[in-house]
């Protein structure tokens, strides 16, 4: 197969996943939340269980008027939703779905690339907050910047622990080096990574930057129509990305009890959807953290725990 054709197929597959998996997670969130909270919700769009409601919502967003505030920085205001989406697309390019290079673009420094790109999300928050010329948006942006910059440290430290254990920065290499007993040995790192990842994508209970009871809708207050939909899509893509990274780094990726070269991708997807379910479950179960509680959890719990895990990993690697 020509190199250019293989590249087109790989990138095309990633684009399909980028456009479909967030919709599946979004639909699952609506239905899971409805069942957990005893709410019937819309059940008619598409027939069975209202499966097309999310599609109907998308059509609604497309038809809505695109409004830009008079005092806004128009160029930055319009660019922010795109900046929120692009990093997650780039991350999906390097996350392996299965063995034998079943990945958009294999990189030897895939983990380093992922951590660098995910951090760009704070730029979109600051762009939308500052360019909106709205005090609620600005306050949400400042909250978001403090939150994202704080939780970057435990996210990186916990990821460094598993990279040190595997002896490689390649995401595929980490999956190949993974052993079932890592579920116990690297459990603290997985906990830190998962919680910090939730804070990075601003999911409840870490949604202080878009606290509707205090800031209307934070940095997204002035957005309407398709641009607002892009921010929502970025949130659901973020769920897929954090779930996929947790799966690849800590849950063995494509490895499973009966995994082989043909079904490895299925194990990866099952684990991704299981972690996504936990993310949805946490939204329903826990109230929003206050700003002081959020920062205290980061600096007094997650950072010391990730440092301790890093020391433990180094000691085990030296001993072995």
What are the angstrom distances between the C-alpha of 44 and each of 26, 30, 53, 59, 163? 17, 14, 8, 16, 47
**Distance separating alpha carbons of residues 238 and 168, to the nearest angstrom:** 24
3-state secondary structure of 98: strand
**Distance separating alpha carbons of residues 144 and 47, to the nearest angstrom:** 39
Contact between residue 78 and residue 68 where contact means Cβ atoms under 8 Å apart: yes
**Which pLDDT value is given to residue 250?**
92
What confidence tier does 123 reach under pLDDT thresholds 50, 70, 90? confident
Alpha helices in 37-134 (DSSP H): 53-63, 74-94, 110-118, 121-131
What confidence tier does 1 reach under pLDDT thresholds 50, 70, 90? low
**Which pLDDT value is given to residue 128?**
87
Those residues whose C-beta lies under 8 Å from the C-beta of residue 145, and which sit 6 or more positions away, are 122, 125, 126
**Distance separating alpha carbons of residues 168 and 147, to the nearest angstrom:** 29
Over residues 214-223, the pLDDT tens digits come to 777 778 888 8
Contact between residue 44 and residue 55 where contact means Cβ atoms under 8 Å apart: no
Over residues 129-152, the pLDDT tens digits come to 888 888 888 888 888 888 888 888
Query: 213 — phi, psi (to 5°)?
Result: -75, -15
**Which pLDDT value is given to residue 158?**
93
Over residues 264-290, the pLDDT tens digits come to 788 888 999 999 999 999 988 888 888
Average pLDDT score over the chain: 85
Over residues 228-264, the pLDDT tens digits come to 888 888 888 999 999 999 999 998 888 877 655 567 7
Bridge partners (DSSP) listed for residue 98: 102
The number of folded domains in the chain is 1
Over residues 191-215, the pLDDT tens digits come to 999 999 998 888 888 888 887 777 7
What are the angstrom distances between the C-alpha of 180 and each of 88, 123, 276? 28, 37, 21
Contact between residue 167 and residue 108 where contact means Cβ atoms under 8 Å apart: no
Contact between residue 218 and residue 211 where contact means Cβ atoms under 8 Å apart: yes
**Which pLDDT value is given to residue 213?**
75
Range of the domain at 36: 1-317
Task: Judge whether residue 307 has pLDDT over 90.
Answer: yes
Higher pLDDT, 117 or 99: 117
Among 90-94, 105-109, 170-174, which stretch is predicted with the lowest mean pLDDT? 105-109
Over residues 7-41, the pLDDT tens digits come to 788 788 888 888 888 888 888 888 888 888 877 77
Task: Judge whether residue 127 has pLDDT over 70.
Answer: yes
């Amino acid at each position: 197969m020509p190199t250019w054709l293989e590249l087109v197929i790989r990138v095309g597959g990633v684009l399909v996943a980028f456009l479909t998996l967030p919709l599946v997670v979004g639909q699952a969130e609506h239905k899971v939340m409805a069942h957990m909270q005893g709410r019937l919700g819309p059940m008619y769009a598409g027939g069975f269980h209202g499966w097309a409601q999310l599609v109907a919502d998308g059509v609604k967003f497309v038809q809505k008027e695109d409004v830009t505030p008079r005092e806004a920085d128009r160029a930055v205001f319009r660019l922010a939703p795109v900046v929120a989406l692009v990093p997650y697309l780039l991350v999906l390019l390097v996350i392996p779905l299965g063995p034998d290079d079943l990945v958009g673009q294999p990189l030897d420094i895939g983990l380093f690339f992922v951590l660098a790109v995910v951090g760009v999300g704070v730029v979109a928050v600051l762009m939308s907050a500052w360019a909106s010329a709205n005090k609620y948006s600005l306050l949400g942006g400042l909250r978001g910047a403090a939150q994202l910059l704080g939780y970057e440290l435990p996210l990186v430290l916990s990821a460094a622990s598993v990279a040190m254990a595997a002896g490689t920065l390649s995401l595929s290499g980490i999956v190949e080096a993974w052993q079932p007993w890592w579920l116990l040995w690297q459990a603290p790192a997985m906990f830190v990574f998962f919680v910090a990842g939730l804070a990075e994508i601003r999911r409840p209970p870490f949604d202080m930057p878009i606290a509707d009871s205090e800031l209307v809708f934070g940095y997204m207050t002035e957005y309407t129509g398709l641009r607002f939909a892009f921010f929502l899509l970025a949130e659901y893509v973020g769920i897929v990305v954090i779930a996929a990274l947790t799966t690849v780094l800590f849950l063995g990726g494509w490895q499973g009890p009966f995994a082989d070269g043909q079904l490895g991708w299925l194990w990866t997807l099952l684990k991704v959807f299981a972690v996504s379910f936990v993310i949805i479950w946490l939204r329903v179960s826990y109230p929003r953290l206050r700003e002081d509680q959020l920062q205290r959890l980061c600096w007094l719990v997650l950072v010391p725990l990730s440092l301790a895990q890093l020391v433990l990993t180094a000691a085990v690697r030296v001993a072995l």
